[in-house]
Amino acid sequence: MEDAYDYFEQYKQIPVVMIKDDGQYVVSNALPKVPKFQPKVRPVSNHKPLVRNIDFVADAVAKWPEFPGGGEAYAGFLKQVGKDMVKAFPDSVSRVYAQVEFIVDKDGTPVNFKVLKGVDPYFNAVLVEQMEKMPKWSPAIYREKPVAKKMVQTVPVGID
């Protein structure tokens, strides 16, 4: 029946529709079949994310985790990740604000990355792979001891 719809859209007339012995519809003077849009097949990432079993994640801390070099260095790291991620976009996307959750463990290692807002599974996997290249942080401090702290970060991709 899709052929009948296409015929009507083209000529603004109701087509003659016949039924074969096997029950299939035949539209007289049907338009030639045009392949429908097929999105490009996205690659599959083989990256295995770094996951640690963490016993305690502090909600409130006396001192937040600190990126080596401070806030400016962290902003520079995120900007570089944003530039590198543009090549992982699907065809229809030109920019995105991805949101990533991770934990800075008590030894300062960023682990357990999870994309909260992303684009598609391939983009999300590549984003986690890029974020895992992050250097060790100074861990959060709670009661004068280093503790694990959950962080949520927005990563602008394709935005200057």
Q: What value does the mean pLDDT of the chain take?
A: 89
- Which helix (H) or strand (E) segment is 76 a member of? helix 70-85
Note the CATH number of domain 57-157: 3.30.1150
- Each residue of 7-17: pLDDT tens digit? 888 888 888 88
Report pLDDT for 91.
81
Start-end of CATH 3.30.1150 domains in the chain: 57-157
- Each residue of 130-160: pLDDT tens digit? 999 999 999 999 999 999 999 999 999 987 6
Confidence tier at 57 by pLDDT (50, 70, 90): very high
Report pLDDT for 16.
85
**What's this model's pTM, rounded to 2 decimal places?**
0.72
